[in-house]
Structure formats: C-alpha cells, structure tokens
Chain A
C-alpha cells in the first residue's frame, strides 16, 4: 500500500493548485495529470485511478461500504438525545455507538465482534431524522444487527428461535387464522403463556392480539376482488362527476396485521379509496420485513422483500401506485429496501409507495371533504404518531385533517415513542424497558379528553391499549365513517 505517500502527495497537489490558475479553472480537481508532470509528484493514485474502488480502503470487501456515512458523523450526539431506549436505559450506549463507532471498530480491529448491545436497539429509526449530518444510522444498525445474528448468535439458542418466531409473525398468523377461535383461546391460555415465557422468553404480561374470523383477503375475494373494486370505483367516479375511465389504479399493500387481525382497517381503506374513485388490486405479498430487520434476520427479510418488490414492481410498471395502511410497512418499502437490497425495481417501487392518508392528501381534496363532513360514534381521540410515521414526515397529518371534522376532537399526545417497537416489547427481557419508554405516552393519553386512542401502527396500538385499557382506532376508520355512506359490497 502507498497510503502514506498518497496522503503526502495529494497535500502537495492542493498547495500547488492554489498557486496555479490553470488547475483552478478546470474545477480544481486533483486527479491524474494535475501537477503530475510539472510539479514532480505522483498524486493520489489509489484515490483517483480508474480501477480504484473506495471499499478497498478496508480489507473486507464483502460488506456494504458505509464509510461515507461513518465519516459524516462529527459526534454531536444529537442522535443519542433522541434515542428512546437510551432515554430510560443508562447502560445502552446509544445510536452513535451502534452506528458509526461500531462500524469503524469492525473495519479496523481484526477480531472485533459486534457488541451485544445492538440487540437493545429497537429500530425506531428516530436517530435518522435527528442527525444533522445525514449519517445513515438505521442502515448501519440493520447491518450491525444482521452481522451479530449471523456471526455471534447460536442457532440452537432459545433466544434465536424466539426472535425468529416473533419476526416471522406472518407464518404463525397464517396458521392461527385457519382456526381463529381456537388460536385466540390457546394463545392467551395462562399455562401456555407461562411455558412460552419460561422456555422462549415471550413475556406473559401481554395479551396476544385476536385473530379475525375472516381475513381481509378472504373478505376481498368473497366480495369479488379487483373486478368488484373496478365496478365500485367507476360508479363512484360517475357519482362524483369525474371521467368514468379516469386512470386511478392503486395496489394495496395491507401487511400481515390488517389481514389477520384488523381487517376492519383494510376494509376502511378499500371503501375510502373506492369512494374517491380508485380501483384497487391486492397483489401477492409477504411480510414487509420490519420485524425481521429489527431482529437481525436479514435473510428472512430478503426472502419476503423479494416477493413484495417483484409483485409491486410489475404493477408500478403498469402505472399503479402502492399504498400502505401501516406506517412501518411503508417505511420498510420506501427506505429500508433501497438501503439493504438491490432487486430489480426496488427504487421504482419505493418511489411509487405512499402511506394511505398521504396519498389522498396529495391527489384529492381530502381536507375539503372532511371539513364538510361529520362523524358519529367516535369518542374524543388521543392520537399517537408512530416513530415510523414521524420519520416519513407524517406525524401530524391525522391531527391536521381531523381538526376541521365535526363530531370528533383529536389531541396529539406528544412526541414520545410508544416503546413496544414491534417485537421488542414482546421479549421478556425487554418488557420493562418497553413499558418505561411508553410511560410518557400513557400519561399523555390519560390527560387527554376521551378514552379512545388513534394511531396508524398496529404494535403502537397494542401498547396504547395495554398501557391504558383504551380502545384504539385507525385514522382510515374515522375517514370511512366521515365520507362513506353506502358500504358498497359489505
């Protein structure tokens, strides 16, 4: 290696350039040729030659090159101040260590093992938004977590299997939904839960969410699928005075939870979108991958992401946009897929994916329609913005939209994290931390008028319910109540 020579000579190059107007006029770049002939030094060969790959700075070329991100971290520690886990757990070293510091240690120390504290990061991704320097912190955390699980976790340990089962919720949910009533009884059967806690470390403090007797997809198919949706949308367009053959086609990524547990949210989306004249398709899909990223199960995430990208990319190609009703699903498709995977169409799918309310705000006069509408049957609502909505710049849209809606008042319960972070709060060893993080939100909810909660995230809603006993609704359900009169095809 000629690293030291390179350093010296490129310094010399900059000096020379300063005195030489010719160098300056070509943009001042110190590259091959600049000064090489006249000043007698060999500038920057490894950093400017055609064969140079920046990743070669480090011996291990297999992993993702996150060096530019690590170099951008100037240690201001703002990320640490925003970390909800570090807020309550003084032993957690925080996102700055988990991201750029841990990454540098991995590159420079032969036998450096990723520190186990990475498993205490809940993947809320708040640090991304906090960083004034654009360091890709959550991407670094995902990488580090993946490496920890790959290299350091025993495939025989109960913890590995517990995490794997939690992360692959879709698989258990699929089985359970075949016999929902039996599953509901079995999953919350006390002695079984005791065994699960003792053997697998799944906390027995929480109640498992109920499985619906009919999944959303079953309902969708029974209702007539895409053909029925096209018909409903055409009728709506006619009613609204829009061109009947308008090009309004949307692919719905419902995710696992709306399919197996809260089909009422998915149905609300379908009815609201059809009300605005959109025809929907419900493509083949697996888990968005969020719980897998959060548990370092990157190969499971890759497997499911590939299916999702491939089926959405086909539709995007044909002019569809994709919408999600869960803000972690939209976050995964928009940000984590392009950061971690390179399937064909990943970027196009990310660029055409939206959160359900966001899409209507952009394309319709949603605010105007809600201002003229009213709702019955909703208590005053305590709204909690999920971290993954916050990180997409969507933390305030529900409050803003419902400000002018008659019949309901919505109060934002503040910017704290709910603390459950998907599978995090289900782990016996994380339960207390999870509840401590959520404490601020519980207090704000109880201070707010009304005893109904509102949020877009399924696991935030579990935590809100668990901490306060309130019933929790999704903003789409409020919009459905406000705008959809005729429940077409119920």
Chain B
C-alpha cells in the first residue's frame, strides 16, 4: 500500500502551488508535497512575466512571446497559456497590473527599476512610471535598505520623478538585528511605544520620525515591513498621518511580500480541497514507462506515495530541483535527462553577467510538458514538469521566473487532470 491521490505535485513554490490549485479546481484529488518551506518566502513577491529579451527591456511581454526561441517554455504553452496562468493568479490574489498587457516598473531596494507584470497592492503607489516625487525612508537597524543610496540610484537610472532618501530610527527600540516580522507585527498591533519622551501608537510614532524629512513629497516608500496580518491598514494609518501615499519597496529574504503571497496561495490550495504535506523530500521512484509511486524520506523511514499523475515542480539549480557536480547535471527525483555540454568549462562564460549555459539547465519537455530522453520521447507517460526545473530559458536575465511558473504550473495541472 501507499498514501494515494490522483495527482501528486512535488514542490511547494509558485509552479507547484499553481499546478495544485488548477488540478484541484478541475476536480482531481491533489496532494502537494514539499521538502522545505516554500521558496516564495525568500522571493520579492513581484510576479514578472518577461522583462528583457537579449538584454533589451520588453514593454509588452505577450507580444514578445512568439519571437522567443522554440524551446522556451512560453513557446510550449503559447501566449494563451501565459494569459491563463496569470488569470488563475489574478483570481486567487488581489495583485495589481491586470488592467494592461504592459510591464509595470517597480523600484527595488537597490534603487534599480524592475519590469514586472503583477505587483502587490502595497507596491502600487511606488511605480516608477508615476511622476510624483518620492521620499524613500530606511531604518537604521535594517541595513539591507539604504534609502539615500537607493534614491540616488533611481535618479541615475532616469526615473521621471525626484527621489530623496532619509534614514530614521524605527520607534520602539527593537534590537539591532531584529527579525523583519518584529517590525511588521509592531505596526500591525500598533502598540504604544516611546518616542522623544512621549508615548504614541507605533504607526503614529513612525510617522513622527518621518515627518521632518517629508518636505512636500507626495509619496513615501518604506522597506517592505509594513504589516503582516493587515498591511493595508498599516499603510492607511501611515498615509493618514503623513498626508502622502505610502508604498513598500520589495526586500531580500526573508520577505514579507513573499510570506504574504505564500500564505494566500496555500489558503487557495486548501480552499480547492487539496491535501498538503511539508518538510519531507521525495528521494526515489518506482515504475517503468509509467511512474507507479515515489518514495519520500521521512526522517530516515521511506514512505511510499502513489498517484495516477505526477507534476515535478522542484525548482532549478538554486532550489535544488536540478543538481550538479563536477561529473554532470541531473534531476534527482525522477533522474530525468538534463541536457548540458559534456565539457564542464562550457557550462559558463568568463564574464559574471555573461550568457551562461548553466542558467538554462533543466529538463527538456515535450509539447505536453513531459520531460524527454535523448530521442525526444517522454521519459514517463505520467510525469509533467513546471517552473524552474524546466530548461531552455534564463529567468534571472529575462526576468521571467514567476511567469514561467504560473504558465507551466497551470498547464501541467490541467494536463495532468485531463489524463486521469
């Protein structure tokens, strides 16, 4: 016997969640299994579809899809597949950006501008295409965001507005290495804190510290720690105090916008009736042309899971869905072929930002997203791959990671259910 389901999704990132939600909505009994907490918690929370092609910025990602190389995942699911992936995402979240096909430009904590297709409501007032002057505010104890430096960068990047930066002390005397959630919860709860000899609710106290730097700016950007449970209320409270729009600048890990997005998508998976198991890796598989079952390592014990259809959404080189050593590159769960040059020195370019082959490492799918062998035949008839375990695209250079996960995740989920 084994633990059974119709569709087993392996991986709890954006691709796995999208595959799970779409298959469960189609009526399958879905089980999603993840090794670790979702990598969404480390991600910026922005959803980009296609930001650059050959180093050139892209205004309309959908228009650019037909010109991509034939082995790009977007060519496999087609422009309509990309749109349907985003439609599913729009349906389960309250993200912005669906009013237009064009990329939005969102300032990052480094002061660069990122082309992205969907962004959280908290980033909406910060768009770089908006010509209102902006004040960026950093906190002394949150060293990952240097607001004056980021403001200078935005100026140098040619943003169509004046940006200034200020660094203030966060009210409430948090320890210098406090976790980002401490800031968020203090603002959520709006507990009284001491500021300049007075006791004020946290949001008011923060506004008090920012006010001397405001100087007529119509919008104010903070590092993305403005609330965990009710970020809209925190932004509204700060905006009312400051008399200016308030937005968040996405930050590195651990990321509040990423945490909030992960929570929302896991809730959606739950609402769709899927089962979920976290904290255990899939280490092996059984079966011939068809996978019969996979084996999960649960703290030393090997536990079999059986399903009719499988979706592989374990991530790329960084997410450990693709592994490499000096001998070669492999996909560890089903041992699917990962095309790569035999000579290890052809895996990369000398320049740091060169066109590295390793960035495109991943399984090579057929038209139904099934990983293929050397002859181009599916490795297994009931395994589909989604997200960054797929090869053929360079998501950091293209800024296409989230879009590929949504498009191929949804497609894999639907195809798996149709095959039941």
B37 touching A392 by the CB < 8 A rule?
A: no
B41 in the interface (beta carbon within 8 A): yes
Q: Kindly supply a per-residue 1/0 record for chain B positions 1-22, scoring 1 wherever the CB is within 8 Å of any chain A CB and 0 otherwise.
A: 1111000000000000000000
- Tell me which residues across on chain A come within 8 A of B275, comparing CB atoms: 396, 400
Q: How far is the CB of B369 from chain A (nearest CB, A)?
A: 25
- Chain B: CB-nearest residue to A26: B326
A488 in the interface (beta carbon within 8 A): no
B280 touching A78 by the CB < 8 A rule?
A: no
- Tell me which residues across on chain B come within 8 A of A395, comparing CB atoms: 277-279
Instruction: Mark the stretch among B93-101, B112-120, B178-186, B394-402 that contacts chain A.
Output: B178-186
A334 touching B301 by the CB < 8 A rule?
A: yes
How many B residues touch A, CB cutoff 8 Å? 41
Q: Which of B37, B276, B300 contacts A130 (CB 8 A)?
A: B37
- Tell me which residues across on chain B come within 8 A of A391, comparing CB atoms: 279
* 8 A Cβ contacts from B153-188 to A: 174-175, 177-182, 185
Given that A78-B41, A78-B253, A90-B178 are known contacts, is A350 also in contact with B36, CB under 8 Å in the complex?
no
B42 touching A132 by the CB < 8 A rule?
A: yes
A28 touching B344 by the CB < 8 A rule?
A: yes
* 8 A Cβ contacts from A305-341 to B: 331, 334-335, 338
A364 in the interface (beta carbon within 8 A): yes
- Chain A: CB-nearest residue to B343: A24
CA of A372 to CA of B42, assembled, Å: 43
A80 touching B327 by the CB < 8 A rule?
A: no
A129 touching B301 by the CB < 8 A rule?
A: no
Q: Which of A76, A335, A338, A362 contacts B2 (CB 8 A)?
A: A362
A91 in the interface (beta carbon within 8 A): yes
CA of A90 to CA of B172, assembled, Å: 11
A3 in the interface (beta carbon within 8 A): no
- Tell me which residues across on chain B come within 8 A of A130, comparing CB atoms: 36-37
Given that A24-B343, A351-B302 are known contacts, is A76 also in contact with B42, CB under 8 Å in the complex?
yes
- Tell me which residues across on chain B come within 8 A of A81, comparing CB atoms: 41, 179-181, 254, 259
* 8 A Cβ contacts from A208-231 to B: none
A393 touching B279 by the CB < 8 A rule?
A: yes
Q: Which of B175, B299, B300, B326 contacts A90 (CB 8 A)?
A: B175
- Tell me which residues across on chain B come within 8 A of A363, comparing CB atoms: 1
Q: Kindly supply a per-residue 1/0 record for chain A positions 356-372, scoring 1 wherever the CB is within 8 Å of any chain B CB and 0 otherwise.
A: 00100111110100000
Q: Which of A80, A82, A362, A400 contacts B1 (CB 8 A)?
A: A362
A352 in the interface (beta carbon within 8 A): yes
A129 touching B279 by the CB < 8 A rule?
A: yes
- Tell me which residues across on chain A come within 8 A of B343, comparing CB atoms: 24
Question: Which of B36, B39, B179 has the largest number of chain A CB atoms within 10 A?
Answer: B179
Q: Which of B41, B299, B327 contacts A27 (CB 8 A)?
A: B327
B345 in the interface (beta carbon within 8 A): yes
* 8 A Cβ contacts from A1-59 to B: 18, 24, 27-29
Q: How far is the CB of A362 from chain B (nearest CB, A)?
A: 6
Q: Which of A27, A29, A334, A392 contacts B279 (CB 8 A)?
A: A392
CA of A397 to CA of B112, assembled, Å: 45
A434 in the interface (beta carbon within 8 A): no
Q: Kindly supply a per-residue 1/0 record for chain B positions 298-312, scoring 1 wherever the CB is within 8 Å of any chain A CB and 0 otherwise.
A: 111111100000000
Q: How far is the CB of A116 from chain B (nearest CB, A)?
A: 16
CA of A398 to CA of B33, assembled, Å: 16
A351 touching B300 by the CB < 8 A rule?
A: yes
Given that A334-B300, A362-B1, A362-B303 are known contacts, is A78 also in contact with B326, CB under 8 Å in the complex?
no
A77 touching B278 by the CB < 8 A rule?
A: no
B299 touching A358 by the CB < 8 A rule?
A: no
Q: Which of A94, A362, A392 contacts B179 (CB 8 A)?
A: A94
Q: Which of B185, B278, B300, B326 contacts A335 (CB 8 A)?
A: B300
* 8 A Cβ contacts from A122-166 to B: 129-132
A335 touching B37 by the CB < 8 A rule?
A: no
A286 in the interface (beta carbon within 8 A): no
- Chain B: CB-nearest residue to A330: B299
Q: How far is the CB of A475 from chain B (nearest CB, A)?
A: 16
Given that A78-B254, A90-B174, A392-B298 are known contacts, is A132 also in contact with B326, CB under 8 Å in the complex?
no
B180 touching A24 by the CB < 8 A rule?
A: no
Q: Which of B259, B280, B301, B326 contacts A350 (CB 8 A)?
A: B301
Q: Kindly supply a per-residue 1/0 record for chain A positions 170-191, scoring 1 wherever the CB is within 8 Å of any chain B CB and 0 otherwise.
A: 0000000000000000000000
Q: Which of A18, A80, A93, A334 contacts B298 (CB 8 A)?
A: A334
CA of A452 to CA of B297, assembled, Å: 33
CA of A395 to CA of B266, assembled, Å: 14
- Chain A: CB-nearest residue to B256: A81
- Tell me which residues across on chain B come within 8 A of A362, comparing CB atoms: 1-3, 303-304
- Tell me which residues across on chain B come within 8 A of A367, comparing CB atoms: 4
- Tell me which residues across on chain A come within 8 A of B37, comparing CB atoms: 78, 82, 129-130, 132
A29 touching B326 by the CB < 8 A rule?
A: yes
A350 touching B300 by the CB < 8 A rule?
A: yes
- Tell me which residues across on chain A come within 8 A of B327, comparing CB atoms: 27
- Tell me which residues across on chain A come within 8 A of B180, comparing CB atoms: 77, 81
Q: How far is the CB of A411 from chain B (nearest CB, A)?
A: 12
Q: How far is the CB of A390 from chain B (nearest CB, A)?
A: 7
A86 touching B39 by the CB < 8 A rule?
A: no
CA of A331 to CA of B298, assembled, Å: 10
Q: How far is the CB of B358 from chain A (nearest CB, A)?
A: 15
- Tell me which residues across on chain A come within 8 A of B301, comparing CB atoms: 334, 350-354
Given A331-B299, A392-B280, 4 more A-B residue pairs with CB atoms under 8 Å apart are A27-B327, A78-B254, A81-B181, A350-B300
20 examples of A-B residue contacts, CB within 8 angstroms = A24-B344, A29-B326, A77-B254, A78-B41, A78-B254, A81-B181, A91-B175, A93-B175, A131-B36, A132-B39, A132-B42, A335-B299, A351-B301, A351-B302, A361-B3, A392-B279, A393-B33, A393-B279, A396-B276, A400-B275
The 9 A-B residue pairs whose C-beta atoms are closest, nearest first, are A334-B299, A393-B280, A350-B300, A393-B279, A28-B326, A351-B300, A129-B279, A81-B254, A80-B179
